[in-house]
Amino acid sequence: MAGGAMTEAAKQVAKRAEERLDTIVETLRERFEGLTKAKFTDVVKSGRFAGSQMQGRAETVGGNQGAPR
């Protein structure tokens, strides 16, 4: 029966390790979301999505497709 006790102990250790990893993953996910949200907000506030820059991109991407150069 010693083998059964050892198996149970190993299961408990694995379960605790999994719970700790889940906590770490959640913490990292929250930090990453905070960082990316802040960066995107900064980009929007700086005006990178406003006016002529978007129009210029639309003209270069969609304009004159298939036309000889």
Residue 33 inside a domain? The answer is yes
Residue 55 inside a domain? The answer is no
Residue 8 has pLDDT above 90, yes or no: yes
pLDDT at 31: 92
* The total number of structural domains that make up the chain: 1
Q: Supply the mean pLDDT for the chain.
A: 77
Task: Find the domain containing 27 and state its range.
Answer: 22-48
Nearest CA-CA partner of 34 in 46, 42, 45, 44: 42
Residue 53 inside a domain? The answer is no
Residue 30 inside a domain? The answer is yes
Residue 38 inside a domain? The answer is yes
Identify whether the C-beta of residue 60 lies closer than 8 Å to the C-beta of residue 53.
no
pLDDT at 47: 77
Residue 42 inside a domain? The answer is yes
pLDDT at 64: 57
Residue 66 inside a domain? The answer is no
Residue 3 inside a domain? The answer is no
